[in-house]
Amino acid sequence: DSIINTWGGRKFNFLNPEPTDIFIEDIAHALSLQCRFNGHCTDFYSVAEHSVEVMRVVESLGAENNIIMTALLHDAAEAYIGDVVSPLKKVLKDYQEIERRVESTIAKRFSLVYPMPEVVGFADKNVLEREFRTLDPFSENGASYKGLEPKDAEELFLKEYRRLSLGNVEGE
């Protein structure tokens, strides 16, 4: 069965995703509870907080609003299909196709730029490098950054989404 139940009480078919099945509240909630690096870090650091950091880098570079929104939602598919570490993702061809399908549907739902613009990929790598410098057990200087609590990360993600959308996106 390719249907999951979402936090908001809805159904989502990851093999046949529809834009009308995607809600920002489900994305924010799920990403706030997913730990980066598949949990292989000393303290919890959510995908939601990571997404906000990527968005901030793109925004600081002067990108257009829809590209900034694309940055905020660059990992949104993980809310529906989970996160798979990059080395494993490279060998899971079926997963890659499902991920593309879900990403494309999310892009349609929120009028995002798809495929992901280069500036978002650049910002994602920039934030990843910063995470490796500041998150234990990867940190270079032993001073670890402690991420936000999930509820705080969810609220921050939604706050940034609303700021960017200015209420123009349905389904809030």
**pLDDT score at 65:** 96
Residue with tokens 């920039």: 126
Residue (of 50, 41, 34, 38) closest to 138 by Cα position:
41
**144 Cα distance to chain centroid:** 22
Angstrom distance (rounded) from CA 51 to CA 157: 8
Reading the block at residue 72, the tokens are 């905020």
* Helices and strands per DSSP (H, E), number in the chain: 8, 2
* Residues in the chain, pLDDT under 70: 140, 142-143, 167-172
Q: What angle, rounded to 10 degrees, do the helices at 118-134 and 65-72 form?
A: 40
**pLDDT score at 169:** 40
Rounded to two decimals, what is the model's pTM?
Answer: 0.93
**pLDDT score at 41:** 85
